[in-house]
Chains A and B, each alone.
Chain A
């Protein structure tokens, strides 16, 4: 234990882990949508730090760029355009807490079981050296090219579908008025 604590990396892991868990918990218990979104930022930031500690620099930065930089910003954008009172919002609380907690526990158990049975006591070869991004890229467009393309295709389809649903064609009258502007 003493040896474990003498490593600065483990201290970082400990502090960040606790902060991540606390913020993740506050995301669901917070009574204000914007606060919940900000706690989600903190939780995702903690996840990114954990990826760095696992030498997966690229994945960590993708979490920051995509989740914090784009997804959360869109969350906040959407919340603020529609309805986001400052102060507490009682409507955010509901009586489905218990089923939600149960499902979360089951998901946690399944994921933990899968992780432990797959990796067991396997140790990371080199802690502290970042994974080579070039080899990551080679894996994506080499061995895993088919799943990679499938995911890309699904995302494109989702994007087109989203636009098709949100799009509202103008009536002739509206089109006329738009042209005159």
Chain B
């Protein structure tokens, strides 16, 4: 362990190693979730799904898909704002990658253990909105523009309940450090999903909307907007959006698992074993939530645009505010 500590003590070397790990982790997670989506969707619709690629279960399907995107022609519409058009997917993916940085995979095992980790995660996740907005605008396509305006309206509306729903957790834990929140849950003996069930439900619904997953996929409603803000994108730029969506599902789930499900802690594990198994536990919990997102996709019909907005402002925000008030009162009384 001292060797690792020595290497990490060097600022530049540690930085490069951490960057490499993140750069590897992001596409791998994206591919696993993409493959899970294909296979599980098939299962839920009584299909087989990918079958031939790689020989068994079609496990290489996503690798083949990824390579296919890279060899496709990179089409930029004639009227498009070229620089912004190229910048937008990178902006969305960058916001996604920046989120991975603060997730605690084990005791003191985040790429950067920020004192305000939770606040950082919420702030950074709002960055992708700008990428989505300018992606639609720079495409010079009306469908794209409508799609990105819908996406931005939705992201603004659901960011509020997303932020408010975690305040209850912060009140209980007394810290915004993600590692500290896990430690507080270990100390109190129960994951916060029990005392903060309302917060968890609001967080999960708002996270689904932030991710534009069904039932909140109005921005890319394919039967009316072609593909929303992604319509004009081809090849590896489209892959960026695609990858960002899958990795965002994972990071949102990982943050939800950290806040509400006890993060990397598994009851009964302690000491070195807990440190080694921490990432496994966290990833398992996150994938459980990702599975729920996939499950919802084939369970609920899409919301209409006005229903979607009134859901955020008239239901989720008041519920989240009431949750904060009750939690604060109980924290003082008990």
Contact = CB atoms under 8 A, between A and B. Distances in A.
A158 interface: no
- Classify chain B: how many residues form its interface, as a range: 20 to 34
Interface stretch (B132-140, B274-282, B287-295, B321-329): B132-140
Contact of A133 (B12, B79, B115, B140): B115
Contacts of B79: 86
B81 A34 contact: yes
A69 B149 contact: no
B286 interface: no
B134 A61 contact: no
Interface in B105-127: 114-116, 119-120, 122-124, 126-127
B12 A8 contact: yes
Nearest to B128: A69
Chain B, interface SS category: helix
A41 B120 CA distance: 17
Contacts of B122: 65
Interface of B: 11-12, 79-81, 84, 87, 114-116, 119-120, 122-124, 126-127, 129-130, 133-134, 136-138, 140, 145, 148-149, 152-153, 155-156, 159, 176
10 smallest CB-CB distances across A and B, nearest first, come from A69-B126, A65-B123, A64-B123, A86-B81, A61-B123, A76-B133, A130-B115, A73-B129, A61-B119, A86-B140
27 contacts: A8-B12, A34-B84, A35-B81, A35-B84, A38-B87, A38-B134, A57-B114, A58-B116, A58-B119, A64-B126, A65-B122, A69-B129, A73-B155, A74-B156, A76-B137, A76-B152, A77-B153, A80-B133, A80-B137, A80-B148, A81-B149, A86-B80, A86-B137, A130-B115, A130-B116, A133-B115, A133-B176
Interface of A: 8, 32, 34-35, 38, 41, 57-58, 61-62, 64-65, 68-70, 72-74, 76-77, 80-81, 84, 86-87, 130, 133
